[in-house]
Amino acid sequence: MTDELTTTRGTETADPTLTIPGTWNARDVGGRATPEGASEPIATGVLLRTASLANLEPAGVATLADLDVTTVLDLRSPQEVARDGADVVPSGAQVLALPFGSPRHPRSPATDKNADAEGIGEAGGADMAQVLANLVGAHSATPPDPAEVGAMIMEGIYRGFVTDPDAHAAVGTALTAIASSTHAVLVHCSAGKDRTGWIVALVQGICSVPREQILQEYLLSAQAAGALAASMPPLPGVDPALWDAVLTVRPEYLAAAEDQLDRTFGSLTGYLDAIGVDAQVRGSLRARFGVEQA
C-alpha cells in the first residue's frame, strides 16, 4: 500500500499498517473507525501512531515528510530516551516530550497480599524492562504466578494513566496539540501500544467512536509483539508467561483504564475537563477528524 495519505474522510484501507522504515506498529488512526450516527470513518492524515522513532532510517524520515508530519508527541520517559536515543524526525518537525511520569518500584503480590493492580502499576509510563527486572530481582526466591503478575502489572500501569498527575499533564497537552495542529501529528512511546494506545483511545472517544471500534484499533498492536520482544534487553529468569502478558495488548488492560476513569472522574467528559481538555478543545479535535459537533 502507499504510505501517502491525504486528510479526507471515506478512505477505507483493508490493511491499516504503514511502512515507515526504522519503526514499527505504524498506522493512521483515521479511515476505519466510524463515529456513532455517522456514515463515514474519521479522517485520515490527521493522527499517525508508531513505536519509537529513535532508529528511524532516512527512508522513514522521508516518509514522515511525505505524510506531512510536523508535530511528534514523544511519550517516552527520560530514561527510555537516554537508553534508546532521541527521535529522528524530518527537518522542521517539532518534537514535544510528554512523558507519563517516571520510573518507580512496583509492589508485588508475592510480598504484599493487599497489593492491587494499581499499586503494581505505579510505574506509569516507566521503562518496562526496568520494572520487570526490579520485580524478578526482588522476588525470585518466591515468585508469584507469572501470568497473573504480568496481567496485574499491565492493568496497574493502565490505571496509572488515569491517576498519575504527570499523565494528566502529558495527555492534556497531547490532545490539545492534536486539536490545534493544521498538519499531521504523530504520537509514539517505545512500542506504540500502551501509552500511545491510551491517547488514541481518548481521541476516538472524543470523536464518538463506539467502544467496540476503539477496542479493535487498540488490539491491532498485538501484531507488534514480536518486534517489541526483539527490541527489549535480555532479562534472564523472566518467565515466558509474564513476558507474554507484558509484550501484548489485551482487552482487560484498556478496560482497567476505563474502569479507573469511571471510578475517579465519573465519565470521559469529567476526566477530560480535569486534565484541561475542555469543550472548545474537544470541538476542535472533532473538527480535525471531520466529525460533527456533539
Helix (H) or strand (E) holding 184: strand 184-188
Cα separation, 33 vs 263, in Å, equals 27
Q: Is residue 2 classed exposed, middle or buried when 0-12, 13-18 and 19+ CB atoms within 10 A define those classes?
A: exposed
189, 207, 224, 254: the active-site residue: 189
Sign of the torsion formed by the C-alpha atoms of 119, 124, 130 and 132: positive
Nearest to 110 by CA among 58, 145, 147: 145
Locate 11 and state its grid cell: 478512505
Exposure pattern of 179-212 as b/e (b: 16+ CB <10 Å)? Answer: bebeebbbbbbbbbbbbbbbbbbbbbbbbbbeee
DSSP-assigned letters across all residues of 188-256: E-SSSSSHHHHHHHHHHHHTT--HHHHHHHHHGGGGGHHHHHHHSPP-TT--HHHHHHHHS--HHHHHH
Annotated catalytic residue 207: no
Cα separation, 188 vs 236, in Å, equals 28
Cα separation, 49 vs 25, in Å, equals 7
Please tell me what DSSP assigns to residue 262: H
Catalytic residues: 189
